[in-house]
């Protein structure tokens, strides 16, 4: 491990731009942490710390120099790998036919993701299995993902809704990164303990002023991560969870949560792994030009399951059940892993504070087999 001082952080950004990366990282905007283009260290959210509870998010500013003092905001890296809206192709009338122009002809952006949390690395890994893990792959996702550089930031403190320890995704990044930073900002020092995860990461590091980490510096970083793991307020018992949910398909808790759920789709929009989408076909008034666009959708929207025979999920009860069971049970059948990484976004950004960990635990404690016994 090596040390990069904060005074040399701009060298890291320069090293990324030198390799033609567009650096995407955290910025403070509209009272939250958002993701945007980063040109210098001054763009990063210095002194910003988030407080998260069910249905509550507050970004406070302190006098410290930490630039990664927050945990996660409402946006995830999915926004760049799997854009909210993407043109798939356009068609132009040519005589009695049409010329089709595929969007795949447009070069994919070359991104460097700065500030990727360990749980979000887990989410990207899940996205990889969805979009490039089977018979069919998403060409734009694969191209963007292949060229992406991942600069991870380990979590030295959890937010109120984090449960990454339960999902084995944090608070320390252990794989699938080029560089992983642990920020130390205390006792008048401000530096990063850096772990190198790839040849690309090593190459980038050669253009940044650094030194070998001393034993006490490494131990301090590991101590902060250990304290972060131990201080996590929430947990999700995953043992036997897929079967538990499948066995409780008609549990009364689905009715109870439906009384609170607004079916607003916030949870799916902020989730780093949800991938539901729909397509819009548009044309000009002449009919000479048409386009097909893909956009994010949600299993909570009323028309999402509308088919020729009608809508197969008419109630909020069935929509919430579909979302939670897919995330925690059926995802295992499809992709061999849970669809949840424990980031807590769905809890924070739910307007009524529905907590997926509490819902799962309540079903476990009051399962139908227990009720009927």
List, for residues 206-248, the tens digit of each pLDDT value: 999 999 999 999 999 999 999 999 999 899 999 999 999 999 9
Q: What does the mean pLDDT of the chain come to? A: 93
pTM of the model: 0.91
Residue 2 has pLDDT above 60, yes or no: yes
The residues with which 111 forms a beta bridge, in sequence order, are 22
pLDDT of residue 105: 56
Q: Residue 373: its pLDDT value, please?
A: 43
pLDDT tens, residue by residue, 26-78: 999 999 999 999 999 999 999 999 999 999 999 999 888 999 999 999 999 99
Q: Where are the domains of the chain?
A: 2-84+108-230, 241-285+299-371
Q: Is 296 in contact with 84 (CB distance < 8 Å)? A: yes
At residue 141, does pLDDT exceed 90? yes
Distance CA 173, CA 120 (A): 10
CB 75 within 8 A of CB 34: yes
Average pLDDT, integer, range 339-360:
97
Q: What are phi and psi of 324, to 5 degrees?
A: -70, -40
């Amino acid at each position: 491990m090596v040390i990069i001082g904060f005074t040399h952080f701009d060298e890291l950004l320069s090293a990324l731009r030198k390799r033609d990366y567009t650096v995407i990282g955290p910025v403070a905007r509209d009272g939250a942490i958002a993701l945007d283009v980063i040109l210098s260290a001054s763009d990063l959210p210095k002194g910003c710390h988030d407080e998260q509870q069910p249905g509550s998010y507050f970004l406070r500013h302190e006098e410290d120099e930490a630039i990664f003092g927050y945990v996660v905001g409402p946006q995830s890296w999915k926004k760049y790998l799997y854009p909210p809206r993407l043109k798939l192709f356009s068609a132009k009338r040519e005589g009695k036919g049409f010329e089709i122009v595929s969007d795949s002809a447009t070069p994919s952006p070359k991104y460097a993701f700065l500030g990727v949390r360990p749980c979000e690395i887990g989410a990207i890994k899940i996205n990889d299995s969805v979009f490039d893990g089977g018979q069919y792959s998403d060409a734009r996702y694969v191209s963007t993902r292949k060229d992406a550089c991942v600069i991870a930031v380990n979590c030295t403190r959890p937010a109120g809704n984090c449960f990454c320890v339960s999902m084995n995704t944090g608070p320390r990044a252990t794989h699938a990164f080029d560089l992983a930073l642990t920020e130390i900002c205390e006792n008048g020092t401000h530096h990063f303990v850096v772990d190198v995860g790839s040849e690309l990461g090593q190459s980038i590091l050669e253009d940044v002023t650094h030194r070998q980490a001393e034993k006490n510096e490494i131990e301090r970083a590991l101590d902060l991560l250990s304290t972060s793991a131990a201080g996590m307020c929430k947990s999700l018992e995953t043992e036997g969870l897929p079967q538990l949910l499948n066995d409780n398909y008609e549990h009364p808790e689905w009715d109870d949560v439906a009384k609170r759920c607004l079916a607003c789709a916030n949870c799916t929009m902020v989730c780093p792994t949800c991938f539901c989408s729909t397509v819009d076909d548009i044309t000009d008034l002449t009919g000479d030009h048409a386009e097909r666009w893909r956009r994010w959708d949600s299993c909570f929207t009323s028309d999402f399951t509308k088919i020729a025979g009608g809508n197969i999920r008419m109630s909020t009860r069935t929509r919430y059940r579909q979302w939670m069971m897919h995330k925690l049970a059926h995802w295992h059948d499809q992709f061999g892993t849970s669809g949840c990484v424990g980031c807590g976004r769905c809890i924070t950004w739910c307007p009524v504070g529905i907590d997926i960990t509490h819902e799962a635990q309540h079903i476990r404690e009051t399962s139908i087999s227990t009720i009927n016994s």
